[in-house]
C-alpha cells in the first residue's frame, strides 16, 4: 500500500492511494477527490494519515463500506483496541514498537474520523429515506466519532514560538556568511549570489519556500520603486520538480530595499546567466540550480543544513527555511509595534505581508508582546523585592 502521484498533461498533480498490486483503492481516492482544492503535498499528507486505517481493515479482513452500509458497524473493541492502536504505529521505522508523536497521532485520528463520517453520509445517500438502515448508520457515525474523539492525546504546551526565530545577531551572522562580497556560500561566485538572494528573500520578505521557488524573473520589478510579486499560477506542465513548488496563500506585491534589489539585479543580469549556460533548456524561474534547472525544495533544505554546519552554535540546531519566515514575522511584528500600530492593525499588516487569509494566524506573533510585558513586570517585581531584602526591609 503506497501513495503514487498522477500527473495530468495540463500539469495538474493528484496523489492516489494504491494497494500492493498497484490498483487504486476506490473509497479512499473518491474521498480525496472531494478535496482537490488542497495542494498536492497536503493531499499526500492526508492520504498518509489514512493509510493506517486501510492497513487495519486489510489485516483484519474488514470491509469498511460493507460494515457501514449493512448497518453492522463496529464494536468498541475494534475501534479502541484495534484501529486506534494501529494509528499509533510508526510504519516508517524498523522497530515494530516505535510510536508516532502525539501530534501525528491526533492528525491521524481526525483524518480517519472525517473519512468514516464521509463514508457514513455516502452510504446514507444511496438509501431510500424510509430504509431502516438509515437510522442505524447515523448511530454508527455517532459512536465511531465518540470513540475516536475520546482517544485523542493531550499535547504538551508548545515552546515559546520566538525560539524558532533568529535573533538580530543571528540574522546579522547569517547575512555576513552569505554575502558574496564578504564570504559567500557556494563553489562559484554565481552560486554564492544565488544562495544569498534565495535566503535573503525568505528572511527579508517572509516568502515560503514554495513561493520563493515559484518566482519568475518577470515577477521582479526594478527601477525607482523595486518590488516582487507573489503570484498564483496554473500548474506548469514543463516543471519537472517533485514535489512541485506552489503558492498556497494569497498573492501580494512586496517592496524591495534598493540595496537588496541591486543584488537581485546583479544575480539576474550576470550570475543567473552563468548558471543557465550549464543547461540545455531555458527556464523562466528566478532561482536556478548549479546545473541551470529550477531549484528544488530539497536543495533549499540542503542549503539550510549547510548553513547550520557553517554557523554551528550560532543558529539553532533546527534551523530550516521556516525559521527564516518565522524570523521575518517576529521582526516585522516588533517593528510594527514600535511604529505605534495597535494589536488589530498589526495583525492586519502581518496578514497582508505574509499572504495569510486569516488574522488568527498572526496571534502567535502578537502574543509575543504580552509575554514580554508580563516578564518585564515580573522582573521589576523580583528586583524590588530583592532590594528590600538587601536593605533588611523584609516585607513579610
Do 125 and 212 have their domain in common?
no
Which of 6-15, 167-176, 337-346 is least confident? 6-15
- Kindly state the average pLDDT of the residues 231-257: 88
Residue 14, domain member (yes or no): yes
Same domain assignment for residues 299 and 190: yes
Domain for residue 343, yes or no? no
- Please tell me whether residues 177 and 313 are part of one structural domain: yes
> What is the distance between the alpha carbons of residues 264 and 216, in angstroms, rounded to a whole number?
12
Predicted confidence band at 108 (pLDDT cuts at 50, 70, 90)? very high
Say whether both 117 and 6 belong to one domain.
yes
Same domain, 202 and 222: yes
Q: Assign 96 a pLDDT band (cuts: 50, 70, 90).
A: low
Does 212 lie in the same domain as 111? no
225 in any annotated domain: yes
pLDDT above 60: residue 137: yes
Q: Which of 109-118, 315-324, 370-379 shows the lowest mean pLDDT across its residues?
A: 370-379
- 284 within a domain of the structure (yes/no): yes
On whether both 141 and 167 belong to a single domain, the answer is: no
Last residue of a domain, one of 92, 125, 149: 149
**Chosen domain end from 311, 328, 345:** 328
CB < 8 Å & 24+ apart, contacts of 372-379: none
What percent of the chain shows pLDDT beyond 90?
49
| Lateral strand order in the sheet of 227-230 | 220-221, 227-230, 252-255
Residue 153 banded pLDDT, cuts 50, 70, 90 = confident
Q: Is 323 part of a structural domain of the chain?
A: yes
Query: pLDDT tens, 45-62?
Result: 889 999 999 999 999 999
Among 168-172, 263-267, 307-311, 382-386, the minimum mean pLDDT is found in 382-386
CATH of the domain at 196: 1.10.443.10
Q: Higher confidence at residue 162 or residue 244?
A: 244
- Sign for the pseudo-dihedral over CA of 326, 328, 330, 332: negative
- Provide the number of structural domains found in the chain: 2
Does any domain span residue 336?
Answer: no
- Average pLDDT for 10-22: 83
Are the C-beta atoms of residues 300 and 321 closer than 8 Å to each other? yes
Question: Is residue 65 domain-shared with residue 182, that is, in the same domain?
Answer: no
Mean pLDDT of 79-93: 88
**Residue 361 is assigned to a structural domain of this protein:** no
Residue 220 counted as domain residue:
yes
The domain in which residue 181 lies consists of: 161-328
Residue 392 in this model has a pLDDT that exceeds 80: no
Same-domain check for residues 178 and 142: no
Q: Do 176 and 116 share a domain, yes or no?
A: no
pLDDT at 157 over 60: no
Q: Which residue has the higher pLDDT, 350 or 94?
A: 350
Categorize the per-residue pLDDT at 204 as very low, low, confident or very high, splitting at 50, 70 and 90.
very high
β-pairing verdict for 220-221 and 227-230: antiparallel
Residue 233 contacts residue 214 (beta carbons within 8 Å): yes
> 140 and 177, same structural domain?
no
85 touches 78 (CB < 8 A):
no
pLDDT band at 158 (very low <50, low <70, confident <90, very high): very low
On whether both 185 and 84 belong to a single domain, the answer is no
Sequence length of the chain is 396
Q: Which domain-ending residue is among 115, 149, 183?
A: 149
Amino acid at each position: 500500500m503506497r501513495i503514487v502521484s498522477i500527473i495530468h498533461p495540463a500539469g495538474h498533480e493528484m496523489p492516489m492511494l494504491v494497494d500492493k498490486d498497484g490498483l487504486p483503492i476506490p473509497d479512499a481516492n473518491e474521498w480525496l477527490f472531494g478535496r482537490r482544492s488542497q495542494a498536492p503535498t497536503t493531499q499526500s499528507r492526508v492520504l498518509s494519515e489514512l493509510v493506517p486505517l486501510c492497513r487495519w481493515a486489510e489485516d483484519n479482513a474488514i470491509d469498511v463500506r460493507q460494515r457501514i452500509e449493512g448497518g453492522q458497524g463496529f464494536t468498541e473493541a475494534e475501534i479502541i483496541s484495534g484501529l486506534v492502536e494501529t494509528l499509533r504505529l510508526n510504519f516508517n521505522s524498523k522497530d515494530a514498537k516505535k510510536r508516532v508523536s502525539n501530534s501525528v497521532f491526533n492528525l491521524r485520528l481526525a483524518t480517519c474520523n472525517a473519512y468514516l463520517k464521509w463514508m457514513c453520509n455516502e452510504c446514507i445517500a444511496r438509501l431510500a429515506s424510509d430504509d431502516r438502515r438509515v437510522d442505524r448508520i447515523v448511530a454508527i457515525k455517532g459512536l465511531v466519532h465518540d470513540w475516536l474523539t475520546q482517544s485523542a492525546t493531550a499535547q504538551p504546551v508548545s515552546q515559546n514560538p520566538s525560539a524558532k526565530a533568529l535573533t538580530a545577531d543571528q540574522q546579522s551572522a547569517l547575512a555576513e556568511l552569505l554575502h558574496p562580497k564578504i564570504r559567500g556560500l557556494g563553489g562559484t561566485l554565481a552560486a554564492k549570489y544565488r544562495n544569498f538572494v534565495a535566503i535573503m528573500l525568505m528572511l527579508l520578505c517572509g516568502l515560503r519556500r514554495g513561493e520563493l521557488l515559484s518566482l519568475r524573473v518577470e515577477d521582479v520589478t526594478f527601477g525607482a520603486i523595486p518590488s516582487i510579486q507573489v503570484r498564483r499560477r496554473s500548474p506548469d506542465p514543463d516543471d519537472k520538480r517533485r514535489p512541485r513548488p506552489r503558492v498556497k496563500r494569497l498573492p501580494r506585491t512586496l517592496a524591495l530595499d534598493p540595496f537588496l534589489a541591486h543584488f537581485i539585479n546583479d544575480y539576474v543580469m550576470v550570475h543567473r546567466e552563468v548558471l543557465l549556460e550549464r543547461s540545455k533548456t531555458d527556464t523562466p524561474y528566478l532561482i536556478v540550480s548549479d546545473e541551470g534547472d529550477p531549484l528544488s525544495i530539497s536543495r533549499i533544505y540542503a542549503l539550510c543544513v549547510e548553513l547550520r554546519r557553517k554557523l554551528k552554535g550560532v543558529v539553532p540546531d533546527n534551523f530550516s527555511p521556516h525559521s527564516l519566515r518565522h524570523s521575518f514575522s517576529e521582526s516585522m511584528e516588533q517593528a510594527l509595534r514600535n511604529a505605534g500600530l495597535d494589536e488589530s492593525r498589526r495583525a492586519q499588516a502581518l496578514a497582508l505581508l505574509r499572504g495569510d487569509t486569516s488574522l488568527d494566524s498572526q496571534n502567535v506573533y502578537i502574543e509575543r508582546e504580552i509575554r514580554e510585558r508580563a516578564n518585564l513586570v515580573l522582573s521589576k517585581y523580583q528586583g524590588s523585592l530583592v532590594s528590600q531584602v538587601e536593605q533588611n526591609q523584609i516585607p513579610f
